[in-house]
Amino acid sequence: MTAFITQPAPDFTAEAILHGEFGTLKLSDYRGKNVVLLFYPADFSFLCPTELLAFSDTREAFKARNAEIIGISVDSKFSHFAWTQVERREGGIKDIEFPLVSDLNKDIARAYGVLLPSGVALRGLFILNKEGLLKHATLNHNDLGRNVEEVLRLLDAIDFSEANGELCPANWKKGEKAMVASAAGLKEWAASK
């Protein structure tokens, strides 16, 4: 199965580093929570720790949105473990607050359409809702980091839209007016601007 917006996200079971220990992670075990899948190219790289630490350091904001973060790369669980032992000031990700999945056989990266011919993943970010439905996907070139605040905004929009049946227009933020999916709803929203 290939990842596609509006469809259930491809499930997987994989080895991972969970709370500093080796373990197994199954995506479907996260049903009932929003999930952010954070694909990154490689452990011990330059841009990746800036992203992983930015997401980790805002973990409480994700928890407040009933969201879990899962990092995924094509590195081994041993590489993940070694990187989590390196201090931040040395380029490591010590004390990271979310699991790192090992996609050594590259099946997960293939299923989500992020595998490059070079064998590493693009910076892919996928948001799944509480039922495991794929609601959002972005792919970045590997020289472009992602924005944590935008991901939090999208989680707010997903929850609001699903709870209220309204649309979240461009730049919508929690607490702002949304719109009813109709011509009248658009006019009402536009008039409020």
What amino acid positions are annotated as catalytic residues?
48
| Residue 79: both structure tokens together | 């590489």
> Which run of H or of E encompasses 105?
none
Dihedral pair phi/psi, residue 62, rounded to 5°:
-70, -45
Dihedral (Cα; 19, 36, 48, 79), 10-degree rounding: 40
Exposure string (b/e) for 70-96, b if CB count within 10 Å is 16 or more? Answer: bbbbbbebebbbebbeeeeeeebbeeb
What does the alpha-carbon distance between residue 8 and residue 31 come to, in Å, rounded to a whole number?
11
Q: Closest Cα to residue 5, out of 192, 137, 150?
A: 137
Alpha-carbon radius of gyration of the chain: 18
What does the alpha-carbon distance between residue 112 and residue 38 come to, in Å, rounded to a whole number?
11
The residue type of 55 is: F
Q: Collect all residues with Cβ–Cβ distance below 8 Å to 156 and sequence separation of at least 6.
A: 65, 173, 174
